[in-house]
C-alpha cells in the first residue's frame, strides 16, 4: 500500500494549470495527523507516504518530524516522498535541511517550460530559477531532485527540450499530460502525449523520461504503475486536508469517488474505480484493440476524455501511432482500423 497525503491546499505558487486548487472547502484547512496515524495502524505495510498539496513546504518541518517519530516508534517501514516546488527551501535552506537529509525522506520537484508555472508574484518559474533550486539541493542535500513537467497545449512543443534538461541534470523526469481538475478545465489529449513519448524514444532519450519507459513495457504485460495501472485502487489511498479519503489522488482533486474512511479503518476494503462501469473503457471497441492497455490505463483519463468529448479524436490519432507503439514494445502485429462509435460534439 502507498498513501498520498495532501496536508494543505495552500501554495506559494500560482500555476495556471494547477489541478489541486479545489481540494478543501476551507482554503486554510490542514490535515490532522491522527488520520495519518490511524491509516498507518490499519495498513502498517505502507511503503511510501507521498506528500502533495498545495505545497508540502507550506507546513512546518515539525509536521513531518511527527510522522517520522510515529514511524520510528512503531517500527514501521514507510518512507516519505515530498513533491514540492522547493521555493521555500531555496529561500531558507537551513529550515528544511535536516529533514531532507533524513534517511526516510526523499524529495522530488516540478518544472516545465512555458508560461504556466508561476511563482507567488505571478512571474514565470524559469529554467534559471530551476537550476538555482536544483544546485541548492545538490549542494546541501547531495542530489538533484527528479522532476515532473506538466504538458498542456501551451507548452507542447517543449517536450524534447524538457527531457534534454533532465539528461543534463542526470535525473529521470516525468512528462505528464494535464488532467482536467482544479484550474485546468480541459485534459491534454492522451494520444498527443503518446506521440511525444514516441518522439522521445526515437530521439534515444527514454533513459531520462519515466513514462516513455512505461510505454516500452506496457504492451509486453510487464508491471507498470500510475498512470498505467488498472488495479491502482487496491494499492494506493489519498487523504486530503479535511480528511476526505479516496483511492486516487487525481479523483481526490475532483472530490469524486470518495471512500468511507471509518469503514476502511474498521477493517473494510473497497475498490471504487474498478467496479465503475463508465470507467471500464473509453469505448466498446477498446476490448478487442491491441492498444487497450495504453488507452485505458488510467481511470481518471477515461473520465476526462469522455467528459470532454475527446474519445473519438484520441482514438483516430492513436490508431495512427499504434504501429510505432507496437514496434517500441517489440510486437509485430497490425492494429484494427479506426471505427467511429460516438458522434463528436
Ligand atoms: C498538485 S502538485 C503539488 C506539489 C507541488 N506543489 C508541486 O507543484 O510540485 C503535484 C504535481 O501535480 C502536477 N500538476 C499540477 N496540475 C496538474 C494537472 N492539471 N495535471 C497533471 N498534473 C498536474 C504538478 O506540476 C506537480 O508535479
Ligand atoms: S502545481 Fe504545485 S506549485 Fe503549482 S500551484 Fe499547484 S500545488 Fe502549487
Ligand atoms: S486505439 Fe481506440 S479502440 Fe483502441 S484502445 Fe485506444 S481508444 Fe480504444
Distance 17 CA to ligand 2 centre (A): 8
Between CA 118 and CA 153 the distance in angstroms is: 17
173 shares its domain with 297: no
* Residues 250 and 300: beta-carbon distance below 8 Å: yes
pLDDT value of residue 227:
60
Angle CA 337–343–345, to nearest 5: 125
pLDDT at position 279 is 94
Ligand closest to CA 319 = 3
From the CA of 17, the nearest ligand is 1
pLDDT at residue number 343: 63
CATH code at position 55: 3.20.20.70
How many Å apart are CA 301 and CA 273, to the nearest integer? 12
Domains: count for the chain: 2
Based on the fold, state whether residues 15 and 145 are members of the same structural domain.
Answer: yes
Same domain, 223 and 314: no
Q: What is the pLDDT along the chain (345 residues), one digit of tens a residue?
A: 999 999 999 999 999 999 999 999 999 999 999 999 999 999 999 999 999 999 999 999 999 999 999 999 999 999 999 999 999 999 999 999 999 999 999 999 999 999 999 999 999 999 999 999 999 999 999 999 999 999 999 999 999 999 999 999 999 999 999 999 999 999 999 999 999 999 999 999 999 999 999 988 877 766 556 666 667 788 999 999 999 999 999 999 999 999 999 999 999 999 988 888 999 999 999 999 999 999 998 999 999 999 999 999 999 999 999 999 999 888 888 898 888 887 654
Cα(34)–Cα(28) distance, integer angstroms: 18
Q: What's the domain range around 119?
A: 2-265
> 333 in a domain, yes or no?
no
Nearest ligand 1 atom to the CA of 148 is 27
Cα(95)–Cα(103) distance, integer angstroms: 17
Claim: this prediction has a pTM higher than 0.75 = yes
Last residue of a domain, one of 227, 245, 265: 265
Q: Are residues 247 and 292 in the same domain?
A: no
Residue 314 CA: which ligand 3 atom is closest?
A: 7
Whole-number pLDDT of residue 341: 83
- Hey, what's the cell of 109? 520537484
Between CA 278 and CA 66 the distance in angstroms is 41
CA of residue 257 to ligand 3 center, whole Å: 25
Atom of ligand 1 nearest to the CA of 11: 6
Residues 189, 304 share a domain: no
**249 and 283, same domain (yes or no):** no
Amino acid at each position: 500500500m502507498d498513501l498520498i497525503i495532501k496536508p494543505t491546499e495552500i501554495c506559494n505558487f500560482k500555476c495556471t494549470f494547477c489541478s489541486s486548487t479545489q481540494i478543501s472547502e476551507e482554503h486554510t484547512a490542514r490535515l490532522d495527523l491522527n488520520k495519518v496515524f490511524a491509516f498507518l495502524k490499519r495498513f502498517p505495510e505502507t511503503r511510501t507516504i507521498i506528500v502533495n498539496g498545495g505545497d508540502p513546504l507550506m507546513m512546518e518541518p515539525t509536521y513531518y518530524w511527527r510522522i517520522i517519530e510515529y514511524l520510528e516508534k512503531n517500527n514501521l517501514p514507510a518512507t516519505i516522498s515530498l513533491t514540492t516546488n522547493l521555493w521555500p527551501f531555496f529561500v531558507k535552506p537551513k529550515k528544511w535541511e535536516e529533514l531532507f537529509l533524513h534517511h526516510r525522506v526523499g524529495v522530488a520537484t516540478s518544472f516545465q517550460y512555458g508560461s504556466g508555472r508561476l511563482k507567488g508574484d505571478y512571474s514565470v518559474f524559469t529554467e534559471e530559477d530551476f537550476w538555482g533550486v536544483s544546485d541548492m539541493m545538490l549542494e546541501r542535500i547531495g542530489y538533484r531532485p527528479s522532476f515532473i513537467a506538466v504538458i498542456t497545449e501551451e507548452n507542447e512543443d517543449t517536450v524534447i527540450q524538457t527531457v534534454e534538461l533532465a539528461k543534463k541534470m542526470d535525473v529521470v523526469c516525468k512528462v505528464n499530460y494535464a488532467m482536467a481538475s482544479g484550474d485546468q478545465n480541459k485534459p491534454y489529449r492522451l494520444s498527443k502525449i503518446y506521440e511525444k513519448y514516441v518522439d522521445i524514444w526515437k530521439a534515444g532519450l527514454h533513459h531520462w523520461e519515466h513514462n516513455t519507459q512505461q510505454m516500452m513495457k506496457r504492451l509486453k504485460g510487464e508491471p507498470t504503475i500510475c498512470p498505467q495501472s488498472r488495479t491502482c485502487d487496491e494499492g494506493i489511498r489519498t487523504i486530503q486536508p479535511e480528511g476526505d479519503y479516496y483511492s486516487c489522488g487525481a479523483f481526490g482533486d475532483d472530490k469524486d469517488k470518495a471512500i468511507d474512511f471509518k469503514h476502511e479503518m474498521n477493517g473494510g476494503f473497497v475498490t471504487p474505480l474498478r467496479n465503475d462501469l463508465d470507467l471500464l473503457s473509453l469505448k466498446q471497441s477498446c476490448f478487442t484493440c491491441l492498444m487497450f492497455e495504453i488507452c485505458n490505463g488510467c481511470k481518471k483519463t477515461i473520465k476526462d476524455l469522455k467528459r470532454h468529448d475527446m474519445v473519438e479524436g484520441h482514438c483516430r490519432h492513436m490508431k495512427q501511432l499504434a504501429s510505432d507503439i507496437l514496434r517500441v514494445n517489440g510486437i509485430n502485429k497490425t492494429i484494427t482500423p479506426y471505427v467511429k462509435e460516438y458522434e463528436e460534439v
